[in-house]
Amino acid sequence: MTAELAEPASKIELPAHIGGGGDIPSFDVHLRVRRYNPEVSDESTWDDFHVTMYGTDRVLDALHKIKWEIDGSVSFRRSCAHGVCGSDAMRINGRNRLACKTLLKDLDTSKPITVEPIKGLPVEKDLIVDMEPFFQSFREVMPFLINRGHEPTKERLQSAEDRERFDDTTKCILCAACTSSCPVFWTDGQYFGPAAIVNAHRFIFDSRDDAGDMRLEILNDKEGVWRCRTTFNCTEACPRGIQVTQAIAEVKQAILSRKI
Amino acid sequence: MQVHKYDVVIVGAGGAGMRAAIESGQRAKTAVLTKLYPTRSHTGAAQGGMCAALANVEEDNWEWHTFDTIKGGDYLVDQDAAEVMAKEAIDAVLDLEKMGLPFNRTPEGRIDQRRFGGHTRDHGKAPVRRACYAADRTGHMILQTLYQNCVKHNVEFYNEYYVLDLLTVEEDAVREDGTPYKQKRVAGVVSYDLASGELHVFQAKSVVFASGGAGKVFKTTSNAHTLTGDGMGIAFRRGIPLEDMEFFQFHPTGLAGLGILLSEAARGEGAILRNSEGERFMERYAPTIKDLAPRDIVARSMANEVREGRGCGPNKDYVLLDLTHLEPAHIDAKLPDITEFARTYLGVEPYTEPVPVFPTAHYAMGGIPTNISAEVLQDNDTVVPGLYAAGEVACVSVHGSNRLGTNSLLDINVFGKRAGIAAAEYAKTADFVDLPVDPEAYTLDLLNHVRTSDGTEKVAAIRKELQDTMDANMQVFRTADTLNQVLTDIASFEERYQRISVQDKGKRFNLDLLEAVELGFLLELAKVMTVAALHREESRGGHFREDFPERDDEKFMKHSMAYKDEHAPADGSAEAIAGIRLATKPVVFTRYEPMVRKY
């Protein structure tokens, strides 16, 4: 195509280093992947893989390289590959993270990197867990807007401040990194877990919603918010940066102040 | 094999599928089959907004939106469909708000709106604030809100059920003018349960395809790994044509080298594209609306800057998206996610440094042809009773040869809703069509062939080579030579594909097998796209032929329709290339005459 028009008038001086850099460095990585396939054995094992990776690569890229070039049976979920779909939460070096958001260069590559399924949910195969109990808890907190008022012809009004009140908890992608990092959830699978509480919070503090009391009632249950031991594992694990522990504290506070 | 029976089966649980499910589920017995958990769908990756002429912040109306959509699509848009979409956009946004979607708000508490590429006031006079948004995670909010409402309405999901075949029967029928033809009717679908490896047949009166796009035919793409064009491929194999497949959108601002999307909202909020000389180069190509020109124009301009030696970086192969003149607080409030992507994946701080970007394969304008009621067409005008499609898998066509930003989130809501209602209403009056004998036989053969093959070819290697040749030869600049190269390459990939084998021979969560099946769809679709691109000897919207750089309305103001036809003579004629027969379909005009497309 041809550029026939006037030269751009607005031009800036770019610093000399912009876009510099040269070749991306490569390095060798040792991954220890927790394997489990009940079709083969009831026992889980560790498999070791050595791959050469690059500076911008993530743990997901290493897993793909293993699956595509070494062992096609290594099984894990993934989709968007940039931290918004929530498919690939796993335990990397003992910490819950999204594989697609964890850059290899940010890990200590002088030692083996361990990759395991998230804890507290039944393992189906390798890094794949049964998500159904997790989504069951989510569904139980009534995670949808309930408004009993007259439906307006246009939008409901909401001030920017009221909208901001629950902004943090709207970011949840239901990856289960928080819930499966919670020691209470590990020992008591009946506990709602942080993600369900986060999603309840998102509606309890939405000025358009009328069912906050019902949700607080649900979370006042013995398997509700009071099981939280404030260990902050969930907050550390959240790949979206949600202040999960704080959200749980706000729900506890709301239960107390509303005297349910 | 298990057989299930539903009035309506919806294939896919992204925006279009769940919007359809909310309508259908309240009217008829409905199942949603999805190869991913619903909240994993790629609707959630959409960022910038959803346009509707609410006129909350400045004067606007749906007629201007209609015009912008048609001009943006370089006049290949069916104007009746664009009108429906722009008109129903307003209710589509209000529906979402009432379902609970947390839109950003104006100081008065109304839904806030911002600028987006190609959306203008009064037929191109200036950019207009039309995009309703929730920070730069509008798609995430839409996906979550729709899922929440599916939970509210007890929609029945079959998660990780991968649909692999569409069951149809053909009946002898006679047209009004007396000519006989074969009328297709839908009987159901065949799906593969990933967890168990078992096949499940779903008999249904209505089937809605809402399975998304096929971006993984390209290497550099904003699309998820799972976007492998399954729905398009299944329909095509069953004799449904694919419309306008040569038109693929390359989003201008993918993170360089990675393809991860950085929303056009960045430019809507004031970000500027610059080349290695620091120039705001869009002033050259679109003097009126500059960086907010439609995506095809911006992507081509960027590629041209790089080609003429004004690219940045050690290999001079990208340009820069400059946000450094914006207030950090403004960036945090309006563009938090995309700036985090730049930090996480490139180690670039957008407050102080411009971000390396290059076009990334983003969106299929073409797909399964439908009318404005989302009914699938088996030719230019014959509806397949009970078969519907909506969203990226479909071609209504509201996007023509280039989609405007935000119009996809709109498309899935408007036509997802229409599909859900239409499918349920049809099911109320229709009878089940008898399943064919051995309905699962085709799928079983397909899977067994892959599972038991002891060939030496690897799926990942063929896929990589396909993506490489598509990036090199089918991207923003195309010629007959580059397109013929792709077809030559695909012929060899198809031959090698016959000799693939998978290592995982098990039944549980066999994603190795799944990737092999997906590659089959990718090969088939890449070929259709390329054949259609070769045939269209003009440049229009997202399809740019360097050997035919002008739009040619006389010869090509029409949709292309590709049919799978094993008997199509491979005689080198443009209309029939190795198993694909090309035909055309007229564009629907209502009130807008084609004009030269300038911004």
Residue B411: strand, helix, or coil: helix
**What gap in Å lies between CA B132 and CA A166, rounded to an integer?**
19
Amino acid found at B208: V
Residue B298: strand, helix, or coil: helix
The closest CB to that of A3, out of B108, B152, B304, belongs to: B304
- Report pLDDT digits (tens) over B565-584: 987 765 555 555 678 999 99
Q: Are residues B278 and A13, on separate chains, in Cβ contact within 8 Å?
A: yes
Closest CA to B225 of B236, B217, B234, B237: B217
- Report pLDDT digits (tens) over B374-396: 999 999 999 999 999 999 999 99
Provide the pLDDT for residue A17. Answer: 58
Provide the pLDDT for residue A13. Answer: 74
Q: What is the mean pLDDT of residues B548-567?
A: 95
Residues of B with CB below 8 A from A78's CB?
A: 225
Q: Are residues A39 and B152, on separate chains, in Cβ contact within 8 Å?
A: no
Provide the pLDDT for residue B576. Answer: 52
Residue B124 vs residues A26, B90, B539: alpha-carbon distances, Å: 49, 21, 21
Provide the pLDDT for residue A189. Answer: 83
Report the predicted TM-score, pTM, of the whole model to 2 decimal places.
0.96
β-pairing, B180-193 vs B161-174, is antiparallel
Which tokens is A116 given?
Answer: 């395991």
Which among A2, A87, A144, A165 is the top mutation candidate for probing chain B, defined by the most B β-carbons within 10 Å of its own β-carbon? A144
Which tokens is B98 given?
Answer: 């009432």
- Report pLDDT digits (tens) over B498-512: 999 999 999 999 999
Residues 212-251 of chain B whose Cβ lies under 8 A from any Cβ of chain A: 224-226
Indicate the DSSP class of residue A70. Answer: I
Residues of B with CB below 8 A from A151's CB?
A: 98
- Nearest-CA distance A146 → chain B (Å): 8
**Other Cβ atoms within 10 Å of B3 Cβ, number:** 12
How much of chain B exceeds pLDDT 90, in percent?
A: 96
* pLDDT of B220 above 50: yes
The closest CB to that of B504, out of A23, A73, A172, belongs to: A73
Q: Is residue A56 classed exposed, middle or buried when 0-12, 13-18 and 19+ CB atoms within 10 A define those classes? A: middle
Closest CA to B233 of B563, B443, B525, B519: B525
The closest CB to that of B314, out of A21, A68, A139, belongs to: A21
**What gap in Å lies between CA A257 and CA B546, rounded to an integer?**
69
Dihedral sign of CA atoms A147, A150, A153, A156 in order: negative
Query: What phi and psi, each to the nearest 5 degrees, are found at residue A73?
Result: -85, -10
Q: What is the pLDDT along chain A (260 residues), one digit of tens a residue?
A: 444 445 666 777 776 556 445 566 899 999 999 999 999 999 999 999 999 999 889 999 999 999 999 999 999 999 999 999 999 999 999 999 999 999 999 999 999 999 999 999 999 999 999 999 999 999 999 999 999 988 899 999 999 999 999 999 999 999 999 999 999 999 988 999 999 999 999 999 999 999 999 999 999 998 899 999 999 999 999 999 999 999 999 999 999 998 54
Side-chain-side CA neighbours of B474 within 13 Å: the count stands at 35
Q: Are residues A68 and B281, on separate chains, in Cβ contact within 8 Å?
A: no
Q: What is the b/e burial string over B492-525, where b = at least 16 CB atoms within 10 angstroms of the residue's CB?
A: ebbebbeebbbebebebbbbbbbbbbbbbbbbbb
**Other Cβ atoms within 10 Å of B400 Cβ, number:** 31
Provide the pLDDT for residue B1. Answer: 84
Count of A-B CB contacts under 8 Å: 211
Q: Are residues B40 and A23, on separate chains, in Cβ contact within 8 Å?
A: no
Contact A77, A88 (CB under 8 A): yes
| Residue in B130, B295, B310, B463 annotated catalytic | B295
Residue A247 vs residues A47, A195, B485, B558: alpha-carbon distances, Å: 38, 10, 56, 55
Instruction: Please give the residue of chain A at the shortest CA–CA distance from B476.
Output: A1
Residues of A with CB below 8 A from B459's CB?
A: 68, 72
How much of chain B exceeds pLDDT 70, in percent?
A: 98
- Nearest-CA distance B319 → chain A (Å): 9
Closest CA to A223 of A119, A123, A140: A140
**What gap in Å lies between CA A65 and CA A77, rounded to an integer?**
14
- Nearest-CA distance B312 → chain A (Å): 6
- Nearest-CA distance B185 → chain A (Å): 33
Which tokens is B484 given?
Answer: 């013929």
Helices and strands in chain A, H and E counts: 8, 7
Q: What is the mean pLDDT of residues B408-434?
A: 98
Side-chain-side CA neighbours of B66 within 13 Å: the count stands at 19
Mean pLDDT of chain B: 96
Task: Please report where in the chains the tokens 């740019």 appear, as a residue.
Answer: B544
Provide the pLDDT for residue A260. Answer: 43
Contact B383, B419 (CB under 8 A): no
**What gap in Å lies between CA B188 and CA B8, rounded to an integer?**
9
Contact A143, B148 (CB under 8 A): yes
Closest CA to A70 of B504, B4, B240: B504
**What gap in Å lies between CA A215 and CA A189, rounded to an integer?**
20
Provide the pLDDT for residue B296. Answer: 95
Contact B574, B535 (CB under 8 A): yes
Which tokens is A165 given?
Answer: 């009140």
Q: Are residues B224 and A18, on separate chains, in Cβ contact within 8 Å?
A: no
**What gap in Å lies between CA B412 and CA B390, rounded to an integer?**
6
Provide the pLDDT for residue A2. Answer: 44
Indicate the pLDDT class of residue B13, thresholds 50, 70 and 90.
Answer: very high
Contact B448, B438 (CB under 8 A): no
B307 is known as an active-site residue: no
Contact B338, B344 (CB under 8 A): no
Provide the pLDDT for residue A25. Answer: 80
**Other Cβ atoms within 10 Å of B580 Cβ, number:** 24
Contact A237, A182 (CB under 8 A): no
